[in-house]
Structure 1
């Protein structure tokens, strides 16, 4: 029994260490790996790695460097000239589950749409993902392209071997647009 307990402790410690360190020798933390409309995406290594806080010249909080939240807030600030009234919070906190489809999310000063929604996702929409057993903070990304049957997202901090861009199927069911990913709570729009 003691041996099993020891192995379990080692597995748990190993899991937390791999969330903090860079396991991918092809990239360095802080390295530019992609760009959307002139806004850079940086490599973060382990999803739990933190490299300090990123603030704008006027003191607006963009978030923890190289985390997913920092990219979407930096994108909205630089590309869309948008400051969120509540500049703090984890990725999953960007979605307010008390709001109905299309209502204004006052914490983010953005319109919020549920997945599925009457409103089709658009370029520059901010996509919010739920938490998982391995990631209690959730995730956020930006829609970089939309067609009739899929969206492409761009993201920062998908993990040491994750890709900065992914595509998801987009369908219309009962008059509502659905992004085919069970973790996607919805999207926010300026």
Structure 2
């Protein structure tokens, strides 16, 4: 625990990563008991080198652990790149969940579901797995966990870390049998049976969560370019920290009470109604104690101060506000923190708009990446067939649900 604090202090206050405590970390890794996933794969030969990109799901990337008995640096979400580091990171950065780092080996997750804040469903039960569920095994010495990315009538596909340690970890297929309303998923192999799956309770109506990353079109930077600084996570660099949302952020320095540089997140929202706003505070380049998020919503403007120095690679709620559909609402963050010039760093990362209800159509318009969902329905008075045309901001898998007037 003391080491965790020292990692946080260096990355937050110095604006660098873990290079200054590298010797401490090496000593700790040698002496530590294996936690947070352990050495969970039966494939002991070397695959892709450590830190190699193997795949992504909802823009959250998974990486190779190299040789599966390697224990990387203890970072924001656990040991890179163990299986539990991946599910911890995915659940924070995509699901807006708490950081589950330090919850033990993979074989403990299924039994700890209550303390993790998750729902649990047994393998062979009546509740089928769904995309974004955590598939759990207590096999081997330390177990294994993976994220469900696709469910078919007789299969489940998962994305994981530290199994094959190559491209196959992006989409491993497990067979599923359905009998009498019960769903049974085969193990990762004969030594790693599936206990069941964990699921985050719903946080949004229609499951509509609109993310805006700092390098996506809906975010715009203003002010002198020489006072904007960019950080891109290098997965193969053990001294970098992974605690930035989807590997990228912008930052600038505090500027007293004068606005010089600022950024705006302007979503194109599918529904009118109430939204809870979450801002991602990264593990580094976020030392201001007075980041003033200016929320322009349907009922006016609200300023919510956040002490970024108190948070570490996690989403923080700004509260719930009403927004109209479209692009009229936005969130602004500037460098006028009231702190001395260039004394603190202000980070600009992901913001998520979580739909809480009131108004909006029944169509579910959800893409992997934020953007505009457009559609056109034309049946030309032909009641036997209907054409639905839709547009998305990028190539991705699409789930289209059709409801009648009764819902």
The DSSP-based 3-state class of the residue aligned with 1:163 is helix
Question: Which residue in the other structure is 1:137 paired with?
Answer: 142
- Count of matched residue positions in the alignment of Structure 1 and Structure 2: 155
- Asked if the contact 2:107/2:137 (under 8 Å) is kept, the reply is yes
- Asked if the contact 2:107/2:143 (under 8 Å) is kept, the reply is yes
TM-score (norm 1): 0.74
Question: Which residue in the other structure is 1:93 paired with?
Answer: 108
Question: Which residue in the other structure is 1:51 paired with?
Answer: 72
- Asked if the contact 1:45/1:159 (under 8 Å) is kept, the reply is no
| Worse overlay, 136-145 or 78-87 | 78-87
Question: Which residue in the other structure is 1:72 paired with?
Answer: 87
| Deviation (angstroms), 1:121 | 0.5
Unaligned 5+ segments in structure 2 are: 1-38, 201-407
Q: Show CA shifts across 1:153-172 (max 9, x none).
A: 11101045682121111222
Question: Which residue in the other structure is 1:23 paired with?
Answer: 46
Q: Show CA shifts across 1:26-82 (max 9, x none).
A: x22011111111100101012221111121xxxxxx111100000001000000000
The DSSP-based 3-state class of the residue aligned with 2:115 is coil
For the aligned residue pairs, the C-alpha RMSD in angstroms reads 2.4
Q: Comparing both chains, which one has the higher relative contact order based on Cα–Cα distances under 8 Å and sequence gaps of 6 or more?
A: 1
| Deviation (angstroms), 1:175 | 2.4
Q: Show CA shifts across 1:72-106 (max 9, x none).
A: 01000000000156742000100119xxxxxxx21
Matches within 5 A, 1:1-190: 23-24=46-47, 27-55=48-76, 62-84=77-99, 87-96=102-111, 105-132=113-140, 136-160=141-165, 163-164=168-169, 165-181=171-187, 183-190=193-200
Unaligned 5+ segments in structure 1 are: 1-15, 56-61, 98-104
| Worse overlay, 175-184 or 120-129 | 175-184
Q: Show CA shifts across 1:110-141 (max 9, x none).
A: 00011111101000000001222xxx001000
Question: Which residue in the other structure is 1:101 paired with?
Answer: none
For residues 158 and 28 of structure 1, the distance between their equivalents in structure 2, rounded to whole angstroms, comes to 13
C-alpha distance 160-120 of structure 1, shift in aligned 2 (>3 A): closer
Q: Which has the larger radius of gyration?
A: 2
| Deviation (angstroms), 1:22 | 6.6
- Asked if the contact 2:62/2:161 (under 8 Å) is kept, the reply is yes
- Asked if the contact 1:129/1:185 (under 8 Å) is kept, the reply is yes
For residues 81 and 31 of structure 1, the distance between their equivalents in structure 2, rounded to whole angstroms, comes to 25
C-alpha distance 160-145 of structure 1, shift in aligned 2 (>3 A): closer
Question: Which residue in the other structure is 1:8 paired with?
Answer: none
- Asked if the contact 2:134/2:199 (under 8 Å) is kept, the reply is yes
Question: Which residue in the other structure is 1:4 paired with?
Answer: none
